[in-house]
């Protein structure tokens, strides 16, 4: 399973073999879905909150006398049936995170990488370096690679690369350690370096 090895100027440097155990597997959409749901749950802030009766501001005085008014019996103005009162069984701050088997997470990542290979959306570079922090220059190079919406993955991402893509809305960069299903699927192209390929194999095999 060979692909062209390019540089940032879109010049062919040769060919490189992609490991079929990572890039040539059956795409499990169900597994990818499970992993994405797990990732999104971990990212939820969980700060939603509502007030119970004890937390609502207001007097504890009985609204009006128990008998003789012809109206329903009421005690506190803070009760849930009144406007501005308490919320019953409302949300409280909590973590939405749940556990997911490591084998499932690994299979989801392999499926996402295999999907990108099937779509011919993987670009392999000899290295990923930026001479300066200019976004315009990096955008020009990415346009040359036909990869305006891309995820750049390197063994360890160069700080100049991070600076040059910081103002590009559809481009992100990650080290191999941070590679995940959600970010792979969010981008049209996946740009990997030779170093990234080696470290992906070490991580997944």
Residue 93 has pLDDT above 90, yes or no: yes
E strand residue ranges, the chain: 2-6, 12-17, 122-125, 150-154, 171-175, 189-193
In this structure, the number of other CB atoms found within 10 A of the CB of residue 191 comes to 24
Banded model confidence at residue 132, pLDDT cuts 50, 70, 90: confident
Q: What's the pLDDT score for residue 131?
A: 82
Spatial neighbors of 150 by CB under 8 A, at least 6 apart, are 123, 142, 170, 171, 172, 187, 188, 189, 190, 191
Residue 178 has pLDDT above 90, yes or no: yes
C-beta pairs of 143-148 under 8 Å, 24+ apart in sequence: 144/9, 144/10, 145/6, 145/8, 145/10, 145/189, 145/191, 146/189, 147/123, 147/188, 147/189, 147/191, 148/188
Q: What is the DSSP string of 142-154?
A: HHHTT-SSEEEEE
Q: What's the pLDDT score for residue 33?
A: 99
Q: What's the pLDDT score for residue 1?
A: 85
User: What domains are defined for the chain?
Assistant: 2-45+99-204 (3.40.1370.10), 50-90 (no CATH)
| Buried-exposed string 150-186: b where 16+ CB fall within 10 A, e elsewhere | bbbbbbebeebbeebbeebeebbbbebeebbbbbbbe
Residue 143 has pLDDT above 90, yes or no: yes
Banded model confidence at residue 202, pLDDT cuts 50, 70, 90: very high
Banded model confidence at residue 124, pLDDT cuts 50, 70, 90: very high
The model carries a pTM of 0.89
Cα separation values, 65 from 54, 60, 68, 69, 173, Å: 22, 14, 7, 7, 67
The average pLDDT across 58-86 equals 96
What 3-state DSSP class applies to 87? Answer: coil
Average pLDDT, the chain: 97
The average pLDDT across 73-78 equals 96
What 3-state DSSP class applies to 122? Answer: strand
The average pLDDT across 117-140 equals 94
């Amino acid at each position: 399973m060979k692909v062209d090895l390019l540089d940032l100027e879109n010049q062919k440097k040769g060919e490189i073999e992609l490991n079929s155990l990572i890039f040539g597997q059956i795409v499990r959409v169900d597994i990818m879905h499970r992993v994405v749901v797990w990732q999104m749950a971990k990212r939820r802030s969980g700060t939603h909150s509502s007030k119970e009766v004890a937390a609502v501001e207001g007097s504890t005085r009985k609204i009006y006398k128990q008998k003789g008014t012809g109206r329903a019996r009421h005690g506190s103005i803070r009760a849930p049936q009144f406007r501005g009162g308490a919320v019953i069984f409302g949300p409280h701050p909590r973590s939405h995170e749940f556990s997911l088997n490591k084998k499932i997470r690994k299979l989801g990542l392999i499926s996402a990488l295999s999907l990108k290979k099937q779509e011919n959306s993987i670009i392999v570079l000899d290295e990923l370096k930026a001479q300066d922090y200019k976004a315009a220059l990096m955008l020009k190079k990415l346009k040359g690679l036909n990869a305006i919406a891309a995820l750049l993955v390197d063994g360890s991402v160069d700080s100049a690369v991070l600076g040059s893509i910081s103002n590009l809305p559809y481009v992100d960069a990650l080290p191999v350690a941070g590679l995940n299903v959600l970010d792979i699927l969010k981008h049209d192209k996946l740009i990997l370096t030779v170093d990234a390929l080696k470290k992906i194999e070490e991580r997944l095999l």
